[in-house]
């Protein structure tokens, strides 16, 4: 039977080896992603400006009957 100190040293060695392998894998992954990002950059999309008609915003008006119907509906809903 092995002593507790031998078991702890074995566990510590396995833990360090596992953490080291994960660190190495993640480091290689980060470097690989950086290389791929430099080789294949994302395409730049330029937005097409859309002309806005100034008279269109001035013509928008609300029907007073519609506004009163919506207002009364809201008051009836909140009264419940």
Half-sphere exposure in the Cβ direction for 54 (13 Å, CA): 0
Q: State percent of the chain over pLDDT 70.
A: 89
Query: pLDDT-based confidence at 58, cuts 50/70/90?
Result: low
Helical spans, DSSP H, in the chain: 4-39, 54-58, 64-79
DSSP-based three-state secondary structure for 21: helix
Q: Give the per-residue pLDDT at 60.
A: 66
Q: What is the mean pLDDT of residues 1-22?
A: 94
CA-to-CA dists, residue 56 to 11, 46, 48, 80, angstroms: 74, 26, 20, 39
The pLDDT tens digits of the residues spanning 20-56 come to 999 999 999 999 999 999 999 888 888 888 877 665 5
pLDDT at 8 over 90: yes
């Amino acid at each position: 039977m092995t002593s507790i100190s031998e078991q702890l040293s074995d566990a510590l060695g396995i833990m360090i080896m596992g953490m080291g392998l994960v660190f190495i894998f993640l480091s290689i992954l980060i470097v690989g992603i950086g290389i791929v990002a430099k080789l294949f950059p994302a395409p730049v999309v330029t937005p097409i400006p859309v002309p806005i008609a100034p008279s269109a915003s001035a013509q928008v008006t609300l029907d007073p009957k519609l506004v009163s119907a919506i207002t009364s509906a809201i008051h009836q809903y909140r009264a419940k």
